Structures are given as structure tokens and as C-alpha cells.
Chain A
Amino acid sequence: MRYLPLENSDRQKMLRSVGVSSIDELFADVPEAARLDKLLDLPLHMGEQEVERRFAEMARANHCAGDGPFFAGAGAYRHHIPATVDHLIQRGEFLTAYTPYQPEISQGTLQCLFEFQTQVAQLTAMEVANASLYDGSTGCAEAILMARRVTRRNKAVLSGNLHPQYREVAETITQFTADELEMLPVSPGEPGADLAALMDALDNDTSCVVVQNPDFFGHLQDLSGLAEAAHAAGALLVVVVTEVVSLGAVMPPGEMGADIVVCEGQSIGNGMNFGGPYLGLFATRQKFLRQMPGRLCGQTEDAEGRRGYVLTLSTREQHIRREKATSNICTNSGLCALAFTIHMSLLGETGLRQLAMLNHQRAVELKAALARVSGVSVLGEAFFNEITLELRAPAAPVGETLAGQGIIAGVPASRLYPGDPALENLLVMAATEMTSEADIAALAAALAEALA
């Protein structure tokens, strides 16, 4: 077996050194009834070629995004990843290192985390950011728990236009905690109605309002008024961003008054990978630092006065505080954070803005092309790279029809809100720098035909 360095001769010598005659003696503590004396009913070991063959076969059973026009978004986005990113994250020194608990021999990972935290803070216009969480959805739930710790209030109000799976995760994670969630109704066509409902819901028990921008249906909104209202009521504003590229073009949440910003960072440096691993970005104000979940990297000096970095403020964390920790999180999303940092260092402010405007332009073109299709109306006026269509027929069968023609048309809202007749005809679609004019033309033609 190619991954196992010991030869049988080594094993024999080593057993003698240990002072036993067989490997079974080393498993003597296992109760007899639980000892497996034969192999489990699974295939035997395989060479590289055979493994590759099996996966190639499974890959052929997929239609992947590169196989045709592609417009799915709804929390995961298809962007180009420079070859440099994937090369660097595969350097064994990054790939095969553990959490940097020994800073003297982990400065590579630690300095990257320090750069990451700074980039996230700059991008969101917040004061501090952590070293990442699992993804946007779990980060959103962590923000709700954190808002309770900060405000000592326990009612979180969730926008109706927050990604429905983020809402489900928040409900799941808080079901046995002291948090109460107030879920506002969905308003796909009227983003203003959602904002007004959030303001109305604020009261003296509110720990935070959670709002996504652009929202699940793609609408962009100015949250400054909501921030003022939340602060006047003593609550925090939590802003969720599922498409982080938008921050290259759109006013950042920090400038709108956000107290906690949670982003899904997948779009920068990380592929879609059928839903994971992704990258939770989490930023807040300096004054809430000690209630922040997740790892933090900080600057310090070594014994000779040289600048260096360490994991810090770990008294918030589970391995020190155990049941009193701010979160149970241990592993985060380190390598995805590295991919983000490297991609962001390639882009810089100039490249990020170009990328974002290119995305926006494609979405504007997409909207214009689809608005001409009979049986389609486009919801909303202000958006970044994602729009929602209202079709004259249920969206899911239309999506299936187009998939049959090799076009991934978007995500039918019914996939995420099953059984809601009001949402049945909605199709959420994204355009990115990967979208070509030909893709848009093919989509428009196919949609026209499917709706005819």
C-alpha cells in the first residue's frame, strides 16, 4: 500500500522492540465481542489509475458549470480563479500544516491570517475581522449568538429576504439556546417592504436585526436608515453578504452602520465545489472584540524584538474556556482563507473594482436581454450581479427543460421555499465575469421557447 512506509520486516522488528508477539496483543483492551476478525465488506485497495477511473465515471454523470451557459447563484457563485491561487495553496507547507499553535514554526500561516484579517476589515469597512468561520450560513448564526452576548437581549429579527438556508441554519443553531428568532415574511418584489418590516419589529428586547445585502433576490439597499433605527433601539445591525465580490462595487456595510458583518467569501479564490468547503468572513467593531467567535491572529514580537504573529485572545475559545467559550468552533476554514488572501493580493483594489464592475455589467446586460422575453418580468431596480425573474409558469420545470438543453438557468425559488405558491414562478439568476454574451443570448432564446 503506497501510503504505508512500514514493511512486514519492519513490523516484525518493531513488535519485538515493543515486547509483543503479534499486533493483536496491542488491541487486547478492545472487548472480545467487539473485535473484528475479518475484513469488512468493502472493496480492497486500489492503485491510482483505478481510483481515477472511478471518479472520472462519477464526474461524467454530472453536468458541470463549464459544460454550457450557466446562471446559478443564490449563495454560491462561479468566478474565475487565477492559476497562481491554486498553485500556492497546494504548497505542502501551507496545505499540510496544522493550526498554527507553535508560532515559531508557523509564521507562514500566521502572517497570511494577519493579512486576511486586514483585507476582510478593509473590504467590509469594519474595524476587526477574525481568521474565518466555516461559511456564511454558520457565521450568520454565530453573529446572532454574539449579538445576544453583547446586548444581553435575546430576540433576533431576521429579514424575510435573508437566504432561506441561512434562516434555517439560524433556527437550528438557536433552538436550544436562549435566543428567540422573529422571522419576517418574504417580499421578493418589494425590498422596501422588508426594510420597513425590520424597522417595525425593533423593540427593547431586540438583540439584532439580520439583513442580507444584496438580498436573496438580488436587491441592493441602503441600510443606513435601518442601522440608525437599530442603534436607537439599542440593537445591533448584522449585515450578511453572500456575494463578496459585490463589495468591490457597492458601499460596504461598515459605511452603512453595520455592527457585525458576515460574508460568504467563496467567490474570491474558492470554487463552487457543490457547496463546500466555503469561507465565512466575520468582522465587527473593536469594542465587541471579546465577544467575537473564532480564531484571531495578532501581531507581537519575538525574544529578539522581531515582528511576528501569534494566535491570540484564546481565552474566548473552547480549548481554554470549555463550556464558557464564545463558540464551540475549533477548526475554521484556513486554506480557503489563504486562497481568498492570495486572490485578493492579485486583484488589489483596482482589480477587485474591475471584477465587480464586470459582474455588474453582465447582470445589467442579462436583465436587458431577459426583459425582452415574453412571459418574463424582472423584479427590482437596484442590484449587483443577481436578479430575480417572475415567469409566467412555474420556474422549476422551466429550469429542468433548460437543463435538458445544457443550460443551467438559475435557481428556482421553489427549490428553497417549497410549497409557497407566491414564489413558485420565481427564478433567481446570477451573471459573473464568466458569463458571455453568447451565454445570455442562448438563455434568452431558450427561455422564450420554453415559455411560449
Chain B
Amino acid sequence: MMNRQGRKSGTGGIAAGEAPETFTGHSGLDHVEPLIFEIGDNAKTGVDLPAPGDFTPALGGLARQQPSGLAGGGLPGLSEPEVIRHYTRLSRKNYAIDSGLYPLGSCTMKHNPRLNEKIARIPGLSDVHPLQPISTVQGSLKVMDELAHWLKTLTGMPAIALSPKAGAHGELCGLMAIRTALEARGDARSLVLVPESAHGTNPATAALCGYGVKSIPANARGRVDLDLLKEALDDNVAALMLTNPNTCGLFEDQVIEIAEAVHAAGAFFYCDGANFNAIVGRVRPGDLGVDAMHLNLHKTFSTPHGGGGPGSGPVVFSEALAPFIPLPEVVSDGEGLRLREHPGDGDRSFGRMTAFHGQMGMFLRALAYMYSHGADGLRQVAEDAVLNANYVLAGLKDVMSLSYDGPCMHEALFDDSFLKGTGVETLDFAKAMIDEGFHPMTMYFPLVVHGAMLIEPTETESKASLDEFIFALRSLAEAAKAGDTARFAGAPHLAPLRRLDETAAARKPILRWVPNSSVEP
């Protein structure tokens, strides 16, 4: 009998302990799953709709030809049970927070509460159009107003723009307000300072805002070098973009001096709030001299990452920047809440970041999270996140190489010097973690240390979970040092797939399915 690859299934004997070659190609719970285009059918549908009645179309002669005759064929459909099975099987090939510790530094992969999902689906809040009459959306505006109040209180900042769609969009929002404020005082500046350790979005955003980028080196303690920063600050610098706690997992302990130096030069202090989870309830960025900071609701405030979005990136602002923030804005006018959607006379708002009002579905989740924690719980979040990271740091520092002395904040940074001479690289080490049942840590970022490994456990891991993680990493570090390189070179061995050829993917991109193009599944 031939299997789907057209070869005979393994019928010979198998050695004890060895996995058999299966007829189907499936491997127990892990199924080989074809593409929807290989199993679906243009004529099939999994939705029962009433047939359109007899009427005269008014499409102006622009009806789509059916079947479309496009290269690539038509869109395949499947019945409901087939769709459920297809996507359920695919889902099982994903690692997720729900299934295990996800220590991606700088990404804050914390538990995503299901209450948030329930709240976001209340019809009275989800089945609402963004342009309904204002009198009919007072509840939605109240949600936005509440969220704004909580975020302003937590950050100690007086103004907020809720509309940015994600962190990078928030960065752009912040920098645009800065540039607008500078231009309003007739001050054309051309440069943004960004520490070496910054996220890639920071320089990319500065460029989109028309600024050149100058990199500021870190000092031996993994912080911004204050002297070099002062040297770089002049009347051509528009802003410093600084992540605090920084991407080495360290609090910038000279942040107040940094803010003073930036302000003394007439520039603004933009803080990348990606790591706010470490300090929520314990430190207000407004007390550090920050002028603008985005908050990743999908990090600190637990909205799900969803396999790469949607995020949400509200930006808080200082008094100095408040007049320039984008619209819309929720305001109270005595009779209730309303949306200020258009600039009035003399308005200095820099514009609009997106159609409509922002990621409302994420606002609901984030607010449900904040209500659940309260002022007390949020402070505990920061404390537990920092404690968990330091516990991991303490458990690993004798077998792995810590880049900077602790204590760290919410994430611990290691470099690859402990692997020197073992033949094992950061990538191999991280891939071996997959075989141990963990998602790898963030690798090769930040760029300031060699072969970086950035571990952020978050506050939603138990002590038992951290202990298992620490023991697993210790055993891997010891295996590497003991010369057990086979374990690393081909890792992962136990994932749905082995390492993938990314070079081939980029050299000859195949970005969509076309008939008969597929290699054998």
C-alpha cells in the first residue's frame, strides 16, 4: 500500500525504542497538515447563506468573473468540521504561553486572562460601530476615558493619545508630537539619539519622522554613558529615545541626570515603554522627566500577542507636548463624553494616526486586566516580575555568563562567553531549549553584547515552573561544556519540524501557493 508521499510505508521491523515510519506521515498527535488550497474546493462552502433572490444588479458592468480564472485558481472552501480540524491541527504545531514558559526578553509573554476575552466580546461593547452618533456610544467612550485615567495615573503623565495601533506606531506618534512642538517654537533640529541597545523600531521610527539617527554607546555597566550622551547633545538634537528599564534588563540609574541633560539641550526625552512591566506601580515615568512614552498594552497589560498582533500602543505625554497630540481624544463636556475628532481654531494637534479611534478591543482587555489587579495587584506584578527574573539570574549565573552585574529588573541578560570553545553557539543553545519543552529566550538582542540571550520569565510563572526552567538550562550549559555537541547542532530534534532553511526561503521566495508548485508535504 502506498502512502500519501507515494512510497511504501515502513513495513519492516523496527528496533526497540525507535519510532516507526508511519503510513500516513503523521506522528501520533502531530499531524502532517496540507494547505487549505490542497484540501478545499471552489464549489464547497461551510456557511449556509440564503440564496440571493431575483434582482437586477447595479454593479455598473464590473461584476467579477466566476470562476475568477486567476493564476492560482479560486478560493477553496470547506465544510465546518473540516475547517475546525484543519485549524485545530495547525494550532497544535504552535508553542504558546498557555502551554509553557515563554521567556522572550523584551516581549513580556505573560498569562493572557480569559476574562479579558469574555469582556471584549460583550455585544454591547463589541457590536458597536466607530461612527455611530455620540449619544449612542457613551459606554465605549467611558471605557476609553477610564483606560486613559488609569494609564495617566500609573505613569504620572498628564496627557494621552490612545489611538496608536502598536508600539512602533506609538513611537511614531511620540516623535511626531516632539517634532511638531519643536517646529512650533521655530526650532528645526535634525537628529535623534538612540542608545546602542535600543529596539530596531526606534531608529526606524526616527527615520520615518525625518530625523537622522546617532547611536550612543553603553558604558561598562550596561547603561547609557552619560558623558558621551552629554557630548552628543547639542541644539541639533530633537530627542533622546531611551528604553527604561533598558534592553539589558537594567534600570537606567542616572535617568534623572539624563533627563536634565536632554532638557538643558532643548531636546525632548522619549521613553520606549516596552519594559514598563518591571516598574508599574513602583515608578512613574513622569517622575523621571519623561516627555512621551508608549505603552504596549500587549506586553504590560496582558492583551494577547495573537501570533504577531494586534497590539495597541497608547502614548502618554508631558505638559510640554500635550497641545500637540493627535486626534481623536475623549473629552467631557458636562453633558457626557464626546470625541474631539477635528482640530479647532488654533489647534496644534499634529494630525491623526489611524482611521477611527484605536484598538478598542485591546482597550477593553487591558482595562479588565487593570481592574482585576487594582493598584495593589499591579505593584505586585512589577515586584514578582523582577523577583522571578532575579531568581532565574541567581540560578544560572554560575553556569552561564551574566553580561552585567545584577540585580536585574524584569529580564536577565547573558552572553555567549560561557559557550566559548564548546562549538555550541547561542542559536544552537536556544534551539536545544525547544527539545526541553521551552520556547527559546530572545537571542542576539540587544546588540551590545556578543551572542546575547535575554530571559524574561514574567510574573505569571510559578516557582516550580522557574525551578524546572533553571534546572533545564543548567543541564544544557553543562552538556555544552562537556562536549555533548550533537545534542545542540541538530536541535531541535523533538519539534514538529527540524531547523528550517531560511536562506533558501529568502533566496527564492515562495510567498503564496500556486497549483502544482508544492514540494512533497
Q: How far is the CB of A51 from chain B (nearest CB, A)?
A: 5
Candidates B112, B379, B459, B497; contact of A104 at CB < 8 Å: B497
Given the interface contacts A250-B64, A347-B77, A348-B40, does A334 sit within 8 Å of B308 by beta carbon? yes
> Considering only CB atoms, which chain A residue lies closest to B387 in the complex?
A14
Instruction: Report the Cα distance A14→B199, complex, angstroms.
Output: 31
Interface 9-mer from A117-125, A152-160, A182-190, A439-447: A117-125
Q: How far is the CB of B100 from chain A (nearest CB, A)?
A: 10
> Considering only CB atoms, which chain B residue lies closest to A45 in the complex?
B374
Given the interface contacts A296-B511, A313-B506, does A65 sit within 8 Å of B119 by beta carbon? no
Q: Is A225 an interface residue (CB 8 A)?
A: no
> Considering only CB atoms, which chain B residue lies closest to A324 in the complex?
B207
Instruction: Summarize B's interface: helix, strand, loop or mixed.
Output: loop
Instruction: Report the Cα distance A98→B99, complex, angstroms.
Output: 13
Candidates A251, A300, A318, A338; contact of B501 at CB < 8 Å: A300
CB of B130 within 8 A of CB of A275, answer yes
CB of A111 within 8 A of CB of B498, answer no
Q: Is B86 an interface residue (CB 8 A)?
A: yes
Candidates B43, B124, B431, B459; contact of A62 at CB < 8 Å: B124
Q: Which chain A residues in 325-346 approach chain B with CB under 8 Å?
A: 325, 327-336, 338, 341-342, 344-346
> Considering only CB atoms, which chain A residue lies closest to B459 in the complex?
A4
Given the interface contacts A52-B119, A88-B84, A98-B305, does A104 sit within 8 Å of B434 by beta carbon? yes
Instruction: Report the Cα distance A299→B60, complex, angstroms.
Output: 40
CB of A96 within 8 A of CB of B97, answer yes
Candidates B84, B113, B362; contact of A3 at CB < 8 Å: B113
Q: Is B36 an interface residue (CB 8 A)?
A: yes
Given the interface contacts A64-B124, A322-B203, does A350 sit within 8 Å of B165 by beta carbon? no
Candidates B91, B94, B505; contact of A312 at CB < 8 Å: B505
> Considering only CB atoms, which chain B residue lies closest to A90 in the complex?
B117
Q: How far is the CB of A155 from chain B (nearest CB, A)?
A: 17
> Considering only CB atoms, which chain A residue lies closest to B172 in the complex?
A328
Q: How far is the CB of B19 from chain A (nearest CB, A)?
A: 13
Map CB proximity to A onto B216-257 as digits: 1 under 8 Å, 0 otherwise.
000000000000000000000000000000000011010110
CB of B387 within 8 A of CB of A327, answer no
Residues in B whose Cβ lies below 8 Å from that of A325: 200, 204, 207
Interface 9-mer from A126-134, A196-204, A227-235: A126-134
CB of B77 within 8 A of CB of A273, answer no
Map CB proximity to B onto A92-118 as digits: 1 under 8 Å, 0 otherwise.
111111111011111111011011011
Given the interface contacts A249-B64, A276-B356, A323-B204, does A58 sit within 8 Å of B49 by beta carbon? no
Q: Is A148 an interface residue (CB 8 A)?
A: no
> Considering only CB atoms, which chain B residue lies closest to A119 in the complex?
B75
Candidates B66, B126, B206, B353; contact of A349 at CB < 8 Å: B66
Interface 9-mer from B10-18, B389-397, B416-424: B389-397
Instruction: Report the Cα distance A448→B520, complex, angstroms.
Output: 63
> Considering only CB atoms, which chain A residue lies closest to B492 in the complex?
A104
Q: Is A21 an interface residue (CB 8 A)?
A: no
Instruction: Report the Cα distance A271→B75, complex, angstroms.
Output: 22
Given the interface contacts A6-B463, A93-B98, does A360 sit within 8 Å of B59 by beta carbon? yes
Q: Which chain B residues in 81-133 approach chain A with CB under 8 Å?
A: 83-84, 86-88, 90-99, 102, 104, 107, 109, 111-113, 115, 117-133
Instruction: Report the Cα distance A177→B204, complex, angstroms.
Output: 13
Q: How far is the CB of A431 from chain B (nearest CB, A)?
A: 12
Candidates B166, B204, B519; contact of A321 at CB < 8 Å: B204
CB of B167 within 8 A of CB of A354, answer no
Q: Is B401 an interface residue (CB 8 A)?
A: no
Instruction: Report the Cα distance A258→B46, complex, angstroms.
Output: 31
Given the interface contacts A98-B102, A220-B62, does A322 sit within 8 Å of B72 by beta carbon? no
Known interface pairs A11-B387, A44-B375, A351-B46; 7 further A-B residue pairs with C-beta atoms within 8 A, sorted by A's residue number: A23-B387, A26-B387, A104-B500, A274-B125, A274-B130, A307-B521, A348-B77
